[in-house]
Amino acid sequence: MKHQASSADWLPLLSEPAVVVTTDGEIVRGNDAFSSLVGAKTNSHARLDAFVVSDDHSLQRQLRKWARTKHPVPGAFCLRTASGDTHVAVEAGRLSPADAREGPVTVLIRCKSNTGAVTRFRTLGEKVDALTQEVLARQKAEQDAVTERERWRITLASVGDAVITTDCDQKITFMNEVAEHLTGWTLADATGQDSATVFNIVNEQSRQPVESPIVRVLREGVIVGLANHTVLIARDGREIPIDDSGAPIRDSHGEIVGTILVFRDISERHAADQTRARLAAIVESSEDAVIGMALDGIITEWNPAATEMFGYTTEEIVGQSVFSTLVPDDRESQEQQILSAIRDSRRIEPFETKRCHKDGHLLDISLSASPIKDTYGRVIGIATITRDITFQKQAERQLQTLNQQLEQRVEHRTSQLRELTQQLTRAEQRERRRIAQALHDNLQQMLVAARMRVETLVNHSTEPKVASVARHVQTLIDQSLDASRSLTLELSPPVLYDGGLNAALPWLARHMKEQYGLKLAVQVATDAEPIDEDVRVALFFAARELLFNIIKHSRTDHAHASLATAEGGQVRLVVQDEGVGFDPQGIRNLKDEATGFGLFSLRERIEFMGGRMTIESAPSQGTRIDIIVPQRQSIADAPPSIRAAERRKQAKGDPIPRANTSIRVLLVDDHQILREGIAGILMEYPDVEVVAEAADGEQAVELAAEYEPDVVIMDITLPKLNGIEATRLITQQLPHVRVLGLSMHNSQDMMEAMTAAGAVDLLVKDGPSDELIQAIRNAVAD
């Protein structure tokens, strides 16, 4: 700015008013003549717009225009002078380029006093302004026209219907996206094409070409519509039923410059019309009576089937009230309920009732009713469908009579079959038990006796060869005992008959784990023991069969079984696992005994007993079998252990009455066969009674406290708790009980240990039975 001011030191030398300003209107310096003209100091703190009558944008635009040339150009200002606003002619241009590089671009304005020049410049300025305004107006009009065309293009493109425009030569000029989709032509491909090529339409029925609305619009100059049943043939061969209208496009003088065609896909409406036509045909040909009614019950529609069913012609019945023609007097309230439901837009599902024929007789019918609604969803009437079921009802009554007779016969046959099945089951179990008892009482006793003798031979033989043969025989006897015991258990486990299910199910759990590795958790309610032996046997073998299914098919080694009471004194057995499961519905078609057929065979056996079996299973969700059977017999038919437990329960803890004539014995040995063999020997003596048996030391202590026997025959080698410790506990708790030790070896150390524990004697297992009986009697006599 300082340089610019110094470079304009010649400014005061000018006789005419002059001023230097920047392009944004800031005064750099003005001479005295310019200050006198505007009547104010024009220093660097003033702005030119303070002295010029003009808007800021016009002044700045003019200054930037002058700044583009260094040669002065004429112009004009309206200045605010001391004498008022005065038009002044000026010459202005940019200062030298050297000055411009030192700071903001500056303009030198020199005011001229030539009045004619002022007038010419002012006139020229006015013309320039007018010309500028006209140019701007034309530019705005062109822009508005472009904007308007774009707005109409966007509007037509956004219309939900298809839109096509053409020129006067029927050439395509525009298509929106909907038209592109329906015709199969893109706008780029269609532009300039003949409209008949793009908009190819034929009559749906005759398949003949249809005159295009575009042709009629150009010919007649009016809005025209498309004939019915017109189909558009798309570029890809699709046939689309359409509805459309065409209209002329006119210019500002009313001349036709093109056409606009608006059309839409009416496939849905076309299909709806066809559906309504089919429904009307169905109603007319229906064998059911279709009747339309107003909301007050006045009949409005009546199909031929209604005439055939009720005897009234359409002319006779339409306009009549349904109450006075078809509805019996005692059913008028029913019809009123139907009308009320229909008014509430509720559909009446088919139900059976009666209606009157023209001749007065009643018809058995099936009736359904639906509301008839208008396009606004308002209920305006009722449609009923009526089917004559008179012959059906007669047939049903006859069938009902036959069914009752058949049910009686089936019930009788089922009862006979159930009884026969029960008899077969009981016969099978009796035979199983008889064979098992024969093995137990004969073969196993002899094998035990032989084993004892052979063991004695082994222990006392001095001949190595004899001892070797005896040991081999002993091994064979052991194998024979194992085979015999397994066969006995498979046929009929003695524990089932001696101890009931309360003992048999835990035994079954141990047996399954030992033989097959299945870990079975058993939960038995104390009051759930079945009284009836058939029920006990059926439930036991059912449980075993279900466990075998788990072993074979469930792919798990864990299961759970429970025995509990059910409602009405019934017994419930539940066997479940968390294995792979199966689809219970799917096994109905299986014939594999181990899967589907086996379960249904078991269900039939349970149902023949008067019980039921339910199966709950799903793939990967495990299986639960629930069996419920009724009790049928009295406590008198229960096994001895159950009867004893019941007597103790009834006595509320009172001790069991003891017979004065017998010696009560508790047998303790981990070998059941040996216990049974000893028990079998003792049964031959009327003064000895075996009241309980224990397989381990802990059980021996529990049973001794429960039964308080006179004598305990105690094996020394026992699981869980050995015989010496068990003897010590029993003699401490029950001093009056006598314990006889039983050992395979006659050892002095063993005798001393048993005696120290409280035993009165120690016997060898291979000793004579007379010695055992005598030892029992001596123990009681002491």
Assigned domain for 168 exists: yes
Same domain? 381 vs 400: no
Same domain? 247 vs 318: no
Same domain? 100 vs 65: yes
**Within 13 Å and on the Cβ side, how many CA atoms surround 536?**
25
Q: Taking the model in full, what pTM does it have?
A: 0.35
* Residue ending a domain, choose from 586, 604, 637: 637
Same domain? 434 vs 517: no
Provide the pLDDT for residue 82. Answer: 72
Whether the predicted pLDDT of 457 surpasses 60: yes
Assigned domain for 643 exists: no
The token pair at 184 is 């199969």
Whether the predicted pLDDT of 530 surpasses 70: yes
The token pair at 90 is 């000026």
CA quadruple 410, 414, 417, 422: dihedral, nearest 10? 180
Whether the predicted pLDDT of 474 surpasses 90: no
Summarize the confidence of residues 538-566 as an average pLDDT.
88
| Dist. CA 207–CA 43, nearest whole Å | 93
Q: Lowest mean pLDDT: which of 249-258, 507-516, 523-532, 627-636?
A: 627-636
Assigned domain for 126 exists: no
Same domain? 518 vs 610: yes
Same domain? 538 vs 567: yes
Query: What is the per-residue DSSP string for 366-434?
Result: EEEEEEEE-TTS-EEEEEEEEEE-HHHHHHHHHHHHHHHHHHHHHHHHHHHHHHHHHHHHHHHHHHHHH
Q: Average pLDDT, whole number, for the chain?
A: 78
Provide the pLDDT for residue 649. Answer: 41
Whether the predicted pLDDT of 214 surpasses 60: yes
Q: State which of 33-37, 55-59, 251-255, 284-288 shows the largest mean pLDDT.
A: 33-37
Assigned domain for 690 exists: yes
Whether the predicted pLDDT of 30 surpasses 70: yes
Same domain? 557 vs 675: no
* Residue ending a domain, choose from 58, 86, 113: 113
Q: Containing domain of residue 501, as a range?
A: 494-637
Provide the pLDDT for residue 637. Answer: 44
Assigned domain for 163 exists: yes
Q: State which of 211-215, 457-461, 651-655 shows the largest mean pLDDT.
A: 211-215
Summarize the confidence of residues 96-117 as an average pLDDT.
66
The domain that contains 693 carries what CATH number?
Answer: 3.40.50.2300
Assigned domain for 448 exists: yes
Same domain? 664 vs 771: yes
Same domain? 697 vs 761: yes
User: Cβ–Cβ contacts within 10 Å for residue 646, how many?
Assistant: 16
Q: Cβ(311)–Cβ(357) under 8 Å?
A: yes
Number of domains forming the structure of the chain: 6
Same domain? 678 vs 769: yes
Summarize the confidence of residues 157-182 as an average pLDDT.
85
Whether the predicted pLDDT of 65 surpasses 60: yes
Cα Rg of the chain (Å, integer):
59
* Residue ending a domain, choose from 347, 366, 388: 388
Please report which residue ranges of 586-650 form alpha helices under DSSP H.
596-608, 640-650
Whether the predicted pLDDT of 7 surpasses 80: no
Contacts of 618 by beta carbon, 8 Å cutoff, 6+ apart: 581, 582, 583
Same domain? 499 vs 624: yes
Same domain? 457 vs 577: no
Whether the predicted pLDDT of 154 surpasses 80: no
Assigned domain for 541 exists: yes
Q: Is 23 left (phi over 0), alpha (psi -120 to 50) or beta?
A: alpha
User: Cβ–Cβ contacts within 10 Å for residue 656, how many?
Assistant: 14
Q: pLDDT tens digits for 384-434?
A: 888 888 888 888 888 888 888 888 888 777 777 766 766 776 677 677 767
Q: pLDDT tens digits for 606-660?
A: 877 778 888 888 888 889 999 898 875 444 444 443 444 444 344 334 444 444 5
β-bridge partners, 77: 88
Q: Lowest mean pLDDT: which of 74-83, 128-137, 155-164, 693-702?
A: 128-137
Whether the predicted pLDDT of 231 surpasses 70: yes
108 vs 765 pLDDT, higher one: 108
Assigned domain for 143 exists: no
The domain that contains 348 carries what CATH number?
Answer: 3.30.450.20
Provide the pLDDT for residue 288. Answer: 87
